[in-house]
């Protein structure tokens, strides 16, 4: 009988712990209007680094640290990827996993209904399935900050993005999310 009670207590403590982690992640997200961070992106083994700013919902500006001065910009409706070498790609945001990743209300709703998975006793992972997208979102177990994601891009390439040097609720440059022209 004592073993049954102990197992019951341990299960309930585990549920309380995961419940409070989920609440902390949700509360943290609710208090964020924008994020600025450095990133390392691995797409099928090709590593790129840079800096991004996200403004919820669905706006992002990323400047890559590469010779082409690649930028990625979303105004909430479209996503543009442009380089100095002349490449210019424009997509409807709904066709990309970013549509979900940079929509904090969507993330909050999905996290409410998901079970958390602890990874290496350092990260919390939620797997979200939406519109043929599998998105793995990762949060820091200590401070509940978003620390990265893993998706398949529109070309079915594995995309792993790790965030660092996170800053919240900064004053943003005017027109930072204005889509660049194709010239």
Q: What is the CATH number of the domain that holds 34?
A: 2.50.20.10
Q: Is residue 77 part of a domain?
A: yes
Q: Is residue 174 part of a domain?
A: no
Q: Is residue 180 part of a domain?
A: no
Q: Is residue 177 part of a domain?
A: no
Q: Is residue 179 part of a domain?
A: no
Residues 161-180 have a mean pLDDT of: 96
Q: Which of 80, 78, 56 is nearest to 70 (CA)?
A: 80
Range of 66's domain? Answer: 2-168
Number of domains in the chain: 1
Grade residue 3 by pLDDT with cuts at 50, 70 and 90: very low
How close are the terminal C-alpha atoms of the chain, in Å? 75
Residues 162-183 have a mean pLDDT of: 94
Between residues 148 and 157, the one the model is more confident about? 148
The rounded mean pLDDT for the chain is 89
Grade residue 19 by pLDDT with cuts at 50, 70 and 90: low
Amino acid 9: pLDDT: 38
Residues 145-158 have a mean pLDDT of: 88
Amino acid 48: pLDDT: 96
pTM exceeds 0.75, yes or no: yes
């Amino acid at each position: 009988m004592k073993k049954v009670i102990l197992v019951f207590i341990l299960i309930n403590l585990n549920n309380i712990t995961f419940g409070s982690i989920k609440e902390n992640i949700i509360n943290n997200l609710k208090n964020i209007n924008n994020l600025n961070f450095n990133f390392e992106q691995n797409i099928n083994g090709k590593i790129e680094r840079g800096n991004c700013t996200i403004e919820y919902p669905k706006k992002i500006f990323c400047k890559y640290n590469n010779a082409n001065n690649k930028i990625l910009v979303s105004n909430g409706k479209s996503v543009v990827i442009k380089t100095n070498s002349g490449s210019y790609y424009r997509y409807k945001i709904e066709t990309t996993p970013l549509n979900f990743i940079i929509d904090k209300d969507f993330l909050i709703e999905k996290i409410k209904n998901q079970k958390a998975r602890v990874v290496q006793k350092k990260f919390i992972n939620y797997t979200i399935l939406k519109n043929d997208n599998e998105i793995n979102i990762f949060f820091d177990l200590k401070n509940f900050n978003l620390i990265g994601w893993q998706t398949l891009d529109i070309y079915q390439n594995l995309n792993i993005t790790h965030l660092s040097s996170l800053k919240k609720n900064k004053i943003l440059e005017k027109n930072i999310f204005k889509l660049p022209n194709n010239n």
